[in-house]
Structure 1
Amino acid sequence: MEHYVTIASCQLNQWALDFEGNRDRIIESIKQAKEQKARLRLGPELEITGYGCEDHFLESDTYTHSWEMLCWIIKHPDCQNILLDIGMPVMHKSVRHNCRILALDGKIILIRPKLWLCDDGNFRESRWFTPWLRPRVVETYYLPTFVGDSLSQTQVPIGDAILQCKDTVVGIETCEELFTPSSPHVDMALDGVEIFLNASGSHHELRKLSTRYGLIQNSTQKCGGIYLYSNQRGCDGGRLYYDGCAMILSNGALLAQGSQFCLRDVEVISATVDVDTVRSSRFQPSHGLQGVTRPSYERIYLDFSLSSFKQNFDMHNKPTDGQPIRLVSPQEEIAYGPACWLWDYLRRSRSGGFFLPLSGGLDSASSAVIVHSMCRIVTSAIKDNDQTVLADVRRIVGDPNYSSTCPKELASHIFYTSFMGSENSSKETRGRAKELASRIGSYHVDMSIDTMTRAIVSLFAMVTGKTPQFRSRGGSQAENLALQNIQARSRMLLAYLFAQLLPWVRGYSGSLLVLGSSNVDESLRGYMTKYDCSSADVNPIGGVSKTDLKSFLEYTKDAFDMPILQDFLDATPTAELEPTTENYVQSDEVDMGMTYPELSMFGRLRKIAKCGPFSMFNELIHKWGDHLSPTEIASKVKRFFYYYGINRHKVTTLTPSYHAETYGVDDNRYDLRQFLYPSWTWQNKRIDEVAAKYEEHERRNKDQ
């Protein structure tokens, strides 16, 4: 029983550069950990500064204020008699490092720099930090003078060391190090480490949590050990949403899991574990043989036990039982992730709400339903007596006594929608938009933009002496496209006008954030007008595929009791920018020359499989060859890359979007590619050559 240790991991909704707020949330998490009788508390990566400071990590102020906050935390009366693992940046020998600070009873025990940095996808850590790159090397770090004076310390060890407590051994692994081929936990386990701490800044991405869990589970199954995983939660000022899910595992079994989508600023999970079970799991001779042949880590010896004397002789103190992992469906991830992200953006931007151009189509309906989901989550938090959420709601709606727990009532204060119709709009889309707005409870405005667009065309005619016409009325392709773009861009202008003035119309103060509603597939193909109503302040669905959005609405139709969503699902996707005739109804997929599922495939092959035109064609021959000829596949690939190339410039002005999809096109953030492309002449020649050979091979087989 003396080997029972209670340990805690937390997830915090930190905000980049919010030093005092971050400090207070860290202290609160330590208090909660102690209330749960934990003797060790692990926090998320770079929690003092917030993970997303980016180029602010190049500023000396960031390091100075981090030390000031650290001193405040570890000297705080509520932060004593517990081993603390706190994340912050540290400069050593004029080199910047992403570090973990291990502290106990007002003293720094160890500074552990990150060994391997994350430099793919959304991350550019090596722009701001240098990896330690020296396993098992420890040096002396001289504390800044004001820190030394505050803590009565002059120097502390910095490097890749482990902590030898009186009853167990603790090792540190930071975020990316878990994902590397040769993870530090393997060597640490072979050197006797029994408890592994991993502080992370891992963002949400559809279908990603199972990968994260699988890595931790596999590490503790193979090596044995107790693994604490901590993570940021919320939006700390950028496109990413950190989805929490702190975890504690022992020998492959999940003992505790934090929530994935939640509005609580501080959440602490804990577990009681028998470290003897770790020792028993390492009985294989191979473990011992490999352990004695590996070099040892430098140990930092602590006169401290993670097991508590009082708990040792408490007959009710027992190890935490295992539990199954909680994984939600991609549809639920879309419902809750972007909704929580929108709430953080709304409350921290000090805006009065959201304005959404509601077209009656599937995309804008998805954005509207995500806002509805946000209202459901917020009002649920109010029901649960979350005073932080209630205070934010009261400030946003401008009512110090507001206490409603009805999502529709909340939406009536903070959500504004508008159908911006034209002579090309159908009564069906207008009706769908109005009914959805009524169901959600938004303040809805129905208007016609024809007067505005006619004025623009009249001005052009007066200046040039020529009046453009739609294609169906004898106009050229250039005229037809220009008349469509006038409508689209007019809506963007009106959206910002109404977002600024509608609160004033209702006697409210403040202005609104304009929401976008273009999906990742349309951005990939460039099927949108530059600076149209897809241009907004933030876009909750900009990183989600059309296919996933359809399944999301299928889910929320029943889960949120919104039968009107079936009408959106049944409708043909259309921009409604051209006149409808007996022989022509505008359709998105016809206009694009490809279906949305095909676009998703192109996106995954381009980004995830890293395919150019030629290798993409070779992949699709085997994926689509059962229903398309090689020539047809070649035509589709060439068409995709043609439009991708000529429209790539549009992504340079994309609205900041919630990152959700692995083939996102966020320019110079997640997707680093040029925006001026040559023609794909040579690539297309090679595709045609190989397609012809496939066709010839098929003909010969038929002739035999």
Structure 2
Amino acid sequence: MKYIKVGATALNQTPLDWLANKNNILAAIDTARVDNVSILCLPELCISGYGCEDAFLAPGTLTQSLNILHDIAKYSSNIIVAVGLPLLYQNRVYNTVCLLVDGKIAGFVAKRFLPSDGIHYEPRWFHSWAVGVDAEIEINGHIYPIGDIHFNCGGVRIGFEICEEAWVANRPGIKLAEQAVDIILNPSASHFAFHKHRVRERFVLEGSRSFSVSYIYTNLLGNEAGRAIYDGDAMIASNNNILASSSRFSFDNYQSISACIDVDLTRMAQARTSQCSDKIDNCIKIAFEYPVISPCQKIVTAASELLKEEEFSHAVSLGLFDYLRKSRAQGFVVSLSGGADSSAIACLVYLMVKLAVAELGIKGFTEKLNHINLPTTITDIIKSLLTCVYQATENSSETTQNAANTLATSLGADYLNININNIYIEYVELISQALNKKLSWETDDLALQNIQARVRSPSVWLIANIRNALLLATSNRSEVALGYATMDGDTSGGLSPLAGIDKDFLRHWLRWLEKSIPALRLVNQQSPTAELRPAAMTQTDEADLMPYSVLNRIEQAAIRDRQTPYEIFCLLRQEYEEQQLITWIERFFTLWSRNQWKRERFAPCFHLDEQNLDPKTWCRFPILSGGYKQELEEMKEKVIN
């Protein structure tokens, strides 16, 4: 039996932060050495960072990436390390993985399948490498192999599937199995989405089984560049068994796993099941001495299967922590209305502190946020980092004020109560005089609502500026879809943590979280309302729009599944009264089309599932359009007939 110890490390990198990225990589190599790992897989584009955007086309980015690669190579003696970087070849930029073997560059594998859907935009910066093609590249006077290649390192064959390549039907592992590869490394930058771990685990296991190889998968960790959150998923599998799996959503700089694999065992499986090619193509042979080791004790560190509510809590908490750390803000400010959205954000900041301190300890937490002069107790840390501001007008109720006060006190936030009614009245009187017209709810409903939301913005921005803190916008994805948000009101902020999650789930999550934070009861017992009309008008969000559960289903069908109004009507007609359903569908498409300009102006949001509406990275729609008029008329005609 030939035993080799292999490892995978998830890294929390930052685009273009050369020194920090290099230090994380070197620390990961150190950890692997201590653990006697011979082959280490690091994430995709981990030298430069995955989210460099158009900076991938800057010559300086490519030069710095190569400089860091050479520094890492010098540090990689007696170990094999796979590390990702952008590389210029024949005036084209490629997404590559460099295999370092015993302190030297062995070659570069270039990515063949580039994702171009959803948040992914790789073809804008990178070229796809042609399948089956290998070439040579000269760097600083040295010639290295590049392309669709694999390696024979000391008699062990190593091949690659780079992130997206494992998700496509014609995955490279099929050909690698024909080439008698022993190990497949998969360095990835696969953003978090609910339950995505299950999918990754399936293709890792299936790869190890169907290709009769040991399969090593690793991913990025944390909020790398602002929008995408990476859960740090890493797995090692062999013969359809998970040998090691990382804990996800770590607040640390990196997470490492390792396992012993039996190369002879996978070769015997290939002998029984695989169709090997008569010719071994594009294989780079490099000498390497593996240490003689005994079989490791099989200890599977399995990634916990989290509920969707738990994944949401951990992902957004980690996203907020890294955003705070990398933006070097001094804390967060939330305009706490006592309603669901702002309460959820306040709770997420609270959970951020609790979860991070639970993992890192007070000392580790404060060291990672060393740009802030933090106190030394968790209670004082929360108060230092979370400021909640309640801003009342004459239309605010005692219910929401009590809910905001109770929740902020329960969380330990710094709570400020400001009455802005005089400012609101002054604005109304000022414009009434200028227009020589008395504004009223009968004739100026929307304008009077919006001015209340907008007058809250200057004061809460002032507080955020005074404290050098980041103001968090409070709108959710359901409001984003229909434009049910006041620009420069509840959309004010530098980050919009909830703009990627629907209100229906959010309300469910708050009820789930109430078991841990009982003060949420006062929030959960309310019907969602903006409280911008007089109390006698009994304003609620769902009366203005539609039930959030219905809105969520229409949004999924219309935007995610791209169905027409009539197709959506047919999908839901058995569940709702027909005329009411027509009204809701018409309202959705009309407001969706009318409010694209608002979505263009929203603060950056986190990507949490495959239904994001962010036009900058996910869901593009014209600002001006026909508004589905013909499609809506056709729906009505078909229903009538």
Scaled to the shorter chain, the TM-score interval is over 0.9
Contact kept in structure 1, 2:246 and 2:303, CA below 8 Å: no
Residue type at the aligned position of 1:348: K
Q: Look up the match of 1:500.
A: 465
Separation in 1, partners of 2:237, 2:219: 15
Contact kept in structure 1, 2:161 and 2:173, CA below 8 Å: yes
Find 1:345's aligned residue among 320, 323, 331.
323
Q: Give, in angstroms, the shift of residue 394 of structure 1.
A: 4.7
Separation in 2, partners of 1:611, 1:679: 15
Segments of 5+ residues of structure 2 without an aligned counterpart are: none
Q: Give, in angstroms, the shift of residue 434 of structure 1.
A: 0.5
Q: Give, in angstroms, the shift of residue 607 of structure 1.
A: 2.7
Separation in 1, partners of 2:102, 2:277: 34
Contact kept in structure 1, 2:46 and 2:83, CA below 8 Å: yes
Q: Look up the match of 1:300.
A: 284
Contact kept in structure 2, 1:246 and 1:258, CA below 8 Å: yes
User: Equivalent residue of 1:379, what SS?
Assistant: helix
Residue type at the aligned position of 1:611: Q
Separation in 1, partners of 2:277, 2:58: 44
Q: Look up the match of 2:521.
A: 566
**Is the counterpart of residue 537 in structure 1 residue 489 in structure 2?**
no
| Mapping for residues 45-60 of structure 1, pairs under 5 Å | 45-60=44-59
Residue type at the aligned position of 1:589: E
Q: Give, in angstroms, the shift of residue 648 of structure 1.
A: 2.1
User: Equivalent residue of 2:5, what SS?
Assistant: strand
Contact kept in structure 2, 1:254 and 1:323, CA below 8 Å: no
Separation in 2, partners of 1:681, 1:656: 31
> For 1:330-387, what per-residue CA distance to the aligned partner results, in whole angstroms no more than 9, with x for missing partners?
101111111111111112222111100000001111101100001102322342863x
Q: How many residues align?
A: 641
Separation in 2, partners of 1:368, 1:538: 13
Contact kept in structure 2, 1:274 and 1:319, CA below 8 Å: no
User: Equivalent residue of 2:401, what SS?
Assistant: helix
Separation in 1, partners of 2:249, 2:580: 44
Q: TM-score, normalised by structure 1?
A: 0.88
Is the alpha carbon distance of 1:435 and 1:71 closer, same or farther for their aligned partners in structure 2, counting shifts above 3 Å? same
Q: Look up the match of 1:403.
A: 376
Contact kept in structure 2, 1:273 and 1:319, CA below 8 Å: no
User: Equivalent residue of 1:186, what SS?
Assistant: helix
Q: Look up the match of 1:697.
A: none
Q: Give, in angstroms, the shift of residue 227 of structure 1.
A: 0.8
> For 1:281-315, what per-residue CA distance to the aligned partner results, in whole angstroms no more than 9, with x for missing partners?
33545x23xx247x64221112114x422x1xx4x
Is the alpha carbon distance of 1:345 and 1:325 closer, same or farther for their aligned partners in structure 2, counting shifts above 3 Å? closer
**Is the counterpart of residue 548 in structure 1 residue 501 in structure 2?**
no
Contact kept in structure 2, 1:121 and 1:670, CA below 8 Å: yes
User: Equivalent residue of 2:244, what SS?
Assistant: strand
Separation in 1, partners of 2:125, 2:195: 29
Q: Give, in angstroms, the shift of residue 463 of structure 1.
A: 1.1
Separation in 2, partners of 1:350, 1:325: 31
| Mapping for residues 211-610 of structure 1, pairs under 5 Å | 211-284=199-272, 287-288=274-275, 291-292=276-277, 296-305=280-289, 307-309=290-292, 311=293, 314=294, 317-318=295-296, 320-322=298-300, 324-383=302-361, 386=364, 389-396=365-372, 398=373, 402-404=375-377, 406=378, 408-470=379-441, 475-476=442-443, 479-501=444-466, 503=467, 511-558=468-515, 561-581=516-536, 584-592=537-545, 594-610=546-562
User: Equivalent residue of 1:377, what SS?
Assistant: helix
> For 1:132-178, what per-residue CA distance to the aligned partner results, in whole angstroms no more than 9, with x for missing partners?
02x222111111x3xx4xxxxx1011111111133421101100101
> For 1:601-640, what per-residue CA distance to the aligned partner results, in whole angstroms no more than 9, with x for missing partners?
122112321223243334x2xxx33332444433322221
Q: Give, in angstroms, the shift of residue 598 of structure 1.
A: 1.1
Contact kept in structure 2, 1:6 and 1:37, CA below 8 Å: yes
| Mapping for residues 669-684 of structure 1, pairs under 5 Å | 669-684=617-632
User: Equivalent residue of 2:371, what SS?
Assistant: helix
User: Equivalent residue of 2:177, what SS?
Assistant: helix
Is the alpha carbon distance of 1:304 and 1:381 closer, same or farther for their aligned partners in structure 2, counting shifts above 3 Å? same
Contact kept in structure 2, 1:11 and 1:245, CA below 8 Å: yes
Separation in 1, partners of 2:503, 2:357: 29
Q: Give, in angstroms, the shift of residue 197 of structure 1.
A: 0.4
Find 1:102's aligned residue among 80, 99, 102.
99
User: Equivalent residue of 1:688, what SS?
Assistant: helix
Find 1:123's aligned residue among 120, 124, 128.
120
Separation in 1, partners of 2:510, 2:111: 42
Residue type at the aligned position of 1:628: Y
In percent, how many aligned pairs have the same letter? Answer: 29
User: Equivalent residue of 1:91, what SS?
Assistant: strand
Separation in 2, partners of 1:490, 1:460: 14
Of 375-384 and 9-18, deviating more is 375-384
Of 608-617 and 669-678, deviating more is 608-617
> For 1:240-294, what per-residue CA distance to the aligned partner results, in whole angstroms no more than 9, with x for missing partners?
1111111111122111112211111022111111122212333545x23xx247x
Residue type at the aligned position of 2:146: I
Q: Give, in angstroms, the shift of residue 533 of structure 1.
A: 2.2
Q: Look up the match of 1:702.
A: none
Contact kept in structure 1, 2:478 and 2:551, CA below 8 Å: yes
Residue type at the aligned position of 1:565: L
Q: Look up the match of 1:80.
A: 77
Q: Give, in angstroms, the shift of residue 320 of structure 1.
A: 2.7
Residue type at the aligned position of 2:586: K
**Is the counterpart of residue 657 in structure 1 residue 605 in structure 2?**
yes
Separation in 2, partners of 1:349, 1:579: 40
User: Equivalent residue of 1:395, what SS?
Assistant: coil
Residue type at the aligned position of 1:208: K
Segments of 5+ residues of structure 1 without an aligned counterpart are: 149-153, 504-510, 694-704
Contact kept in structure 2, 1:424 and 1:579, CA below 8 Å: yes
Q: Give, in angstroms, the shift of residue 585 of structure 1.
A: 0.9
> For 1:642-687, what per-residue CA distance to the aligned partner results, in whole angstroms no more than 9, with x for missing partners?
1111222211111111111321111232111112122423212321
**Is the counterpart of residue 648 in structure 1 residue 596 in structure 2?**
yes
Separation in 1, partners of 2:531, 2:15: 42
Contact kept in structure 1, 2:41 and 2:187, CA below 8 Å: yes
User: Equivalent residue of 1:121, what SS?
Assistant: coil
Q: Look up the match of 1:506.
A: none
Q: Look up the match of 1:507.
A: none
Residue type at the aligned position of 2:542: E
Contact kept in structure 2, 1:263 and 1:340, CA below 8 Å: yes
User: Equivalent residue of 2:4, what SS?
Assistant: strand
| Mapping for residues 160-171 of structure 1, pairs under 5 Å | 160-171=148-159
Separation in 1, partners of 2:582, 2:195: 31
Find 1:142's aligned residue among 104, 121, 138.
138
Tell which structure's C-alpha radius of gyration is larger.
Answer: 1
Residue type at the aligned position of 2:266: V
Separation in 2, partners of 1:516, 1:297: 54
Residue type at the aligned position of 2:533: E
> For 1:68-116, what per-residue CA distance to the aligned partner results, in whole angstroms no more than 9, with x for missing partners?
111111112xx21001111001000111101001111232111111011
Separation in 2, partners of 1:323, 1:70: 31
Q: Look up the match of 2:191.
A: 203
Separation in 1, partners of 2:96, 2:328: 32
Is the alpha carbon distance of 1:393 and 1:680 closer, same or farther for their aligned partners in structure 2, counting shifts above 3 Å? closer
Of 529-538 and 483-492, deviating more is 529-538
Separation in 2, partners of 1:228, 1:360: 47
Separation in 1, partners of 2:239, 2:368: 42
Is the alpha carbon distance of 1:663 and 1:46 closer, same or farther for their aligned partners in structure 2, counting shifts above 3 Å? same
